[in-house]
Homo-oligomer: A and B are copies of this chain.
Amino acid sequence: MRSTIAAVLQCEVLNGPMDPHIQENRIGIICGGGSLPSELAHAAIASGCGIHLIGITGEADKRIENYPHSWIKWGEFGRMFHVLEQENCKDIVIIGTVTRPDLSQVRLDLGAVKMLPFMVSLLSGGDNSVLSNIVKFFESKGFKVRGAHEIAPSLLSPSGVVSRQSPEAADHDDIEIGLNVIQAMAPFDVGQAVVVARGHVLGVEAAEGTDDLLRRCRDLRQWGAKARTQRSGVLIKCPKPGQDLRIDLPTIGPRTLELAAEAGLKGIAVRAGHVLLADRADLLITADRHKLFVIGVDHDS
């Protein structure tokens, strides 16, 4: 399995686009919403992988239909495994956003019903272990769960300034504080994102998500007359220590940039090589429009 991925990574460097219908070492991509599933499919093909996309109905974008694909409904686990086997996908990637399904509306197929006792035992392990249990679940069925960053490292934040705008000295100070806060929170499995402005920590993300963090920083800023005219502050975003990057890779996209602009920030700093930049072209256009910087920083944690 490892050699497959090594070959894939090598392919990405050496080769241009290839036939997505290639039979060997195909990668099954289980697709939630947003642009990332299509971007990953594109990058995987460009690197010479065969792929098959499985879109979750109501979640995945129509754009996945540009690639070899199937659709499944929530609960059709039996069908999902059947498709993966049929399409010769031993390695899989789970990517894209998902809303929580309304469990009363989910109809389990026969394959899912057979797996039910097993699924219940996996899902009952407490909130934060659900994601790692999903990995175990797939692995128990003989699949290997890969991270998008393994298949397409080009989607990750590089090191250095990505945007046209660059951070200034005060912004670098804010970034440093943010990285230190994240470091300090490391033992507690929190602090994936922090907003720091003029040396003050405005917000710390725990379980609520980066969008909520940015929204409350926007609301806080509305009080200060100075803040309305003069932008300051940085969103600093990193994976939590020990975070399983295979299924929970931190991501920023154009929407993150829009919210950062609304919050009156000057830019976003992400840990280089550890955060996905979704929809990069649009992300950079959005950064330009709002004169925000985006920088990948190297940090040991």
* Interface residues, chain A, with chain B CB atoms under 8 Å away: 100, 103, 126-128, 177, 180-181, 184-185, 187-191, 195, 198, 200-208, 212, 216, 219-220, 223-225
Taking a contact as CB atoms under 8 Å apart, the answer to whether B203 and A208 are in contact is yes
Taking a contact as CB atoms under 8 Å apart, the answer to whether B208 and A128 are in contact is no
* CB proximity of A222 to chain B, nearest CB, Å: 10
CA distance A177 to B100 in the complex (A): 29
Q: A184-B187, A195-B206, A204-B206 provided; 20 other pairs, C-beta below 8 A?
A: A100-B223, A103-B225, A126-B200, A127-B224, A128-B200, A180-B187, A184-B184, A184-B185, A188-B201, A189-B200, A190-B201, A190-B204, A201-B206, A202-B207, A203-B206, A203-B208, A204-B205, A208-B216, A212-B216, A216-B216
A–B pairs, 17, beta carbons within 8 Å:
A100-B223, A127-B198, A127-B200, A128-B200, A180-B188, A181-B185, A181-B188, A184-B188, A185-B204, A189-B201, A195-B206, A200-B207, A201-B206, A203-B206, A203-B207, A208-B216, A208-B220
Q: Which residue of B lies closest to A220 (CB)?
A: B207
Q: Which of A185, A204, A216 has the largest number of chain B CB atoms within 10 A?
A: A204
Chain B residues, Cβ within 8 Å of A180: 187-188
CA distance A198 to B189 in the complex (A): 13
Q: Which of A103, A187, A201, A225 has the largest number of chain B CB atoms within 10 A?
A: A201
Chain B residues, Cβ within 8 Å of A191: 204
Chain B residues, Cβ within 8 Å of A223: 100
CA distance A142 to B104 in the complex (A): 68
CA distance A206 to B212 in the complex (A): 13
Chain B residues, Cβ within 8 Å of A219: 208
CA distance A239 to B185 in the complex (A): 18
Chain B residues, Cβ within 8 Å of A185: 181, 184-185, 204
CA distance A200 to B208 in the complex (A): 12
Q: Which residue of B lies closest to A184 (CB)?
A: B184
Chain B residues, Cβ within 8 Å of A204: 185, 190-191, 204-206
Chain B residues, Cβ within 8 Å of A195: 206
Q: Which residue of B lies closest to A191 (CB)?
A: B204
CA distance A207 to B220 in the complex (A): 8
Q: Which of B184, B198, B202, B224 contacts A206 (CB 8 A)?
A: B202
Q: Which of A181, A206, A219, A220 has the largest number of chain B CB atoms within 10 A?
A: A206
* CB proximity of A259 to chain B, nearest CB, Å: 15
* CB proximity of A199 to chain B, nearest CB, Å: 8
Chain B residues, Cβ within 8 Å of A206: 195, 201-204
CA distance A9 to B188 in the complex (A): 40
CA distance A150 to B257 in the complex (A): 47
* CB proximity of A191 to chain B, nearest CB, Å: 8
